[in-house]
């Protein structure tokens, strides 16, 4: 198996790709290059992961990426390499960072009433990125001084996520002064709305969803008095702005576009996550009982996962057989990887026998991209002492998702079982590095070095260590 090094994976602070390049850890007053924008975005991502704001659920994140990419395909920069991710925060916010990193709060996902509304928020954020709004604002205010990318990353995070929470993280006056000037201007908002609407239209969503969502936010905020969601602080919503969007969509036909089942299931997950297991059981049972509102497949999905959490396996299995019957009759649900993943969890909780293994082999074949399923199957293989199979399965996935820490954790377990100490600590190091814990990552790499290996392996570890030290220095400069 070909191993990638951290240098290639992260490529954060000084990524020296040729002679004569300036120190890329700093940004001069010249325009930001796409690479620098990407690096600033990466730095911000690491901060988000380190602060535990990152909602580490591959099903929620994969869903956001699927939806986001439907829009990106129709954007002026389809090749930019966007990454959409959920933020574990139930307040209403969504934000874009340079280089294509778009965060969506759990609270915003639950506030949207249709998939088109969620798409309208993503389309607006995508347009801030493709129009390079943040980069233009940073360029406009630097003056003569050099600013480290880490400083910019911190300032952007503070300006975009939760300003109260990140106040403490801003150690330098420089970051603070940049942060204050990063609120989008009216003309940037107008541009993001206009281009966002084009994306929505081209991608087949209901364009009326954009003004409807903003109007609802605006109305709900009137009641909050001074407690406006962060989203409204960073993307000021005025009646003028809404009127302008309404004007732009007035000739578009109203389209009733059914929400995907994944949209419903992801929302179900986020609702359940706010409740204890018994609360969630009561909530979804009641919703199913009343049969008045909502999607019964999503509600039963919520009930089954709550029953599992509460260790009521037999009841969960009972409900699962109902769900699978219902799913068979629904074209949307017949082939849904989230339902398959939940089914696997119930089957595994019941017993682990040859049939369980067979279920996973088939499911992984049917949904080779569904990470949640891969995690569970790899875990099952490791429980069964089939480390080699697990390594093969995980290595393929790491190639596709190089920043997935859960995959590295499973890899480390598999290598440990095989007695491959160098590989074990190296995988653990990558997991820590992507969690933003650079110190722990370096410790693991030192252990990997001590375990010994081929010349090639050891030189990869050396260059990873160098890269991590440089990243830590760059962060120290902020
Ligand atoms: Zn905006």
Which stretches of 310-370 are DSSP H helices?
313-328, 337-350, 354-366
- The whole-angstrom separation of Cα 25 and Cα 14 is 5
The residue whose two tokens read 């966002």 is 196
Cβ neighbours, 10 Å, residue 393? 20
Whole-prediction pTM: 0.89
Distance 342 CA to ligand 1 centre (A): 36
Distance 263 CA to ligand 1 centre (A): 23
Distance 126 CA to ligand 1 centre (A): 10
Distance 179 CA to ligand 1 centre (A): 16
The residue whose two tokens read 């293994």 is 357
Residues in the chain: 478
- The whole-angstrom separation of Cα 83 and Cα 417 is 33
Distance 125 CA to ligand 1 centre (A): 6
Distance 214 CA to ligand 1 centre (A): 11
Which of 235, 106, 140, 148 has its CA nearest to residue 475? 148
- The whole-angstrom separation of Cα 465 and Cα 225 is 50
Q: pLDDT at position 15, please?
A: 40
Burial class of 368 by CB neighbour count within 10 A (0 to 12, 13 to 18, 19+): middle
Distance 128 CA to ligand 1 centre (A): 7
Distance 380 CA to ligand 1 centre (A): 44
Distance 92 CA to ligand 1 centre (A): 14
Going by their DSSP bridges, the two strands 26-27 and 147-148 should be labelled as: antiparallel
Distance 259 CA to ligand 1 centre (A): 24
Distance 234 CA to ligand 1 centre (A): 7
Distance 351 CA to ligand 1 centre (A): 50
Distance 189 CA to ligand 1 centre (A): 5
Distance 222 CA to ligand 1 centre (A): 20
- The whole-angstrom separation of Cα 346 and Cα 324 is 12
The tens place of each residue's pLDDT in the chain, 478 residues long, gives 334 455 444 544 434 333 232 333 445 445 678 888 888 888 888 888 888 889 999 999 999 999 999 999 999 888 888 999 999 999 889 999 988 999 999 999 999 999 999 999 999 999 999 998 888 777 766 555 566 777 777 777 777 776 555 555 555 677 777 777 777 788 889 999 999 999 999 999 999 999 999 998 888 777 665 566 778 777 888 889 999 999 999 999 888 889 999 999 999 999 999 999 999 999 999 999 887 778 999 999 999 999 999 999 999 999 999 999 999 888 888 889 999 999 999 999 998 888 999 999 999 999 999 999 999 999 999 999 999 999 999 998 998 888 899 999 999 999 999 999 999 999 999 999 988 888 999 999 999 999 999 999 999 999 999 988 887 777 665 5
Distance 235 CA to ligand 1 centre (A): 4
Distance 188 CA to ligand 1 centre (A): 7
Distance 13 CA to ligand 1 centre (A): 28
8 Å CB contact between 43 and 35: no
Distance 84 CA to ligand 1 centre (A): 16
Structure tokens at 331: 């074209």
Distance 94 CA to ligand 1 centre (A): 9
8 Å CB contact between 159 and 93: no
The residue whose two tokens read 């991590």 is 468
8 Å CB contact between 364 and 377: yes
């Amino acid at each position: 198996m070909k191993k990638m090094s951290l240098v290639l994976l992260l490529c954060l602070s000084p990524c020296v790709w040729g002679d004569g390049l300036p120190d890329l850890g700093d940004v001069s007053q010249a325009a930001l290059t796409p690479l620098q924008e990407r690096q600033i975005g990466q730095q911000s991502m690491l901060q988000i992961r380190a602060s535990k704001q990152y909602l580490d659920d591959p099903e929620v994140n994969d869903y956001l990426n699927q939806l986001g990419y439907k829009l990106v395909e129709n954007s002026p920069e389809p090749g930019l390499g966007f990454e959409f991710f959920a933020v574990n925060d139930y307040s209403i916010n969504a934000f874009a960072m340079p280089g294509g990193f778009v965060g969506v709060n759990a609270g915003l996902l639950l506030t949207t009433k249709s998939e088109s509304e969620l798409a309208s928020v993503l389309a607006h954020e995508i347009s801030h990125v493709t129009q390079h709004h943040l980069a233009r604002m940073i360029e406009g205010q630097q003056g003569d001084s050099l600013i480290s990318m880490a400083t910019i990353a911190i300032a952007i995070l503070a300006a975009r996520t939760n300003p109260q929470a990140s106040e403490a993280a801003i150690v330098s006056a420089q970051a603070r002064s940049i942060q204050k000037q990063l609120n989008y201007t009216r003309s940037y908002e107008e541009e993001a709305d206009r281009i966002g609407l084009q994306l929505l239209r081209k991608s087949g969503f209901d364009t009326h969803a954009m003004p409807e969502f903003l109007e609802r936010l605006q109305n709900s905020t009137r009641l909050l008095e001074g407690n406006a969601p962060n989203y409204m602080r960073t993307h000021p919503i005025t009646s003028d702005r809404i009127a302008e969007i309404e004007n732009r969509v007035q000739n578009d036909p109203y389209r009733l576009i059914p929400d995907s089942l994944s949209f419903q299931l992801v929302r179900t997950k986020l609702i359940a996550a706010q409740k204890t297991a018994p609360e969630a059981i009561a909530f979804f049972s009641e919703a199913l009982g009343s049969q008045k509102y909502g999607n019964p497949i999503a509600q039963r999905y919520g009930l089954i996962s709550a029953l599992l959490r509460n260790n009521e396996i037999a009841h969960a299995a009972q409900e699962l057989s109902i769900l699978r019957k219902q799913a068979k009759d629904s074209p949307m649900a017949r082939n849904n990887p989230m339902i398959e993943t939940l089914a696997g969890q119930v089957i595994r909780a019941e017993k682990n026998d040859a049939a369980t293994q067979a279920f996973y082999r088939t499911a992984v074949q049917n949904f080779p991209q569904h990470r949640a399923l891969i995690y569970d199957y790899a875990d099952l293989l490791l429980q069964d002492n089939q480390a080699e199979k697990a390594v093969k399965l995980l290595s393929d996935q790491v190639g596709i998702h190089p920043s997935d820490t859960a995959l590295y954790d499973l890899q480390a377990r598999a290598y440990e079982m095989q007695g491959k100490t160098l590989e074990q600590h190296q995988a653990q190091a990558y997991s820590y590095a992507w969690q933003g814990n650079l110190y722990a990552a370096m410790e693991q790499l030192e252990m990997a070095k001590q375990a010994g290996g081929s010349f090639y392996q050891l030189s990869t570890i050396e260059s990873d260590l160098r890269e991590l030290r440089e990243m830590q220095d760059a962060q120290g400069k902020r």
